[in-house]
Amino acid sequence: MDKTTDKITLNLEGKEDMGVVQIADDVVATIAALAAVEVEGVNSLAGNISGSLISKKQRSVSKCARVDVVGENVKVDIALVMDYGYSIPATCKKAQDKIKLAVENMTGLNCTDVNIRIAGVNMA
């Protein structure tokens, strides 16, 4: 069975004769997930299919974020596990800002929404 990967196609401004740049959706999801785990108070990512926890050191982080790309706009949905003792609203705001900045800087896309779901709190 041949699976095709969803890709975003970008034209470099003023460089149409050089070809196109294609970015797989998984790449955008990985950027978002890695940006999220860099925020203090975020313990880990929550997997979207099995509900399993993905630690900061595992490599399958792209499965923890879902991205929807329409034109040059991207919407990110991600589930996080917080550390106990951190303000959920403040930490989520930091995560949203960091994800938006990382996606926009690395891809050139406009990140319109960053939706965060808190899947748990780590008490350790």
Query: How does pLDDT run across 15-34, given as a tens digit for each residue?
Result: 556 777 788 888 899 999 99
- pTM of this structure: 0.79
Domain around 111:
24-122
Q: Quick check: is 10 in a domain?
A: no
- pLDDT band for position 51 (50/70/90)? very low
- CATH number, position 53: 3.30.70.1350
Averaged pLDDT for residues 87-92: 97
Structural domain count, the chain: 1
Give dist(CA 74, CA 112) in Å, integer: 6
Averaged pLDDT for residues 81-93: 96
Q: Quick check: is 12 in a domain?
A: no
Q: Quick check: is 13 in a domain?
A: no
Q: Quick check: is 2 in a domain?
A: no
Q: Quick check: is 31 in a domain?
A: yes
Q: Quick check: is 15 in a domain?
A: no
User: What rounded mean pLDDT belongs to the chain?
Assistant: 81
- pLDDT band for position 76 (50/70/90)? very high
Closest by CA to 84, choosing from 42, 32, 40, 123, is 123
Q: Quick check: is 112 in a domain?
A: yes
Q: Quick check: is 48 in a domain?
A: yes
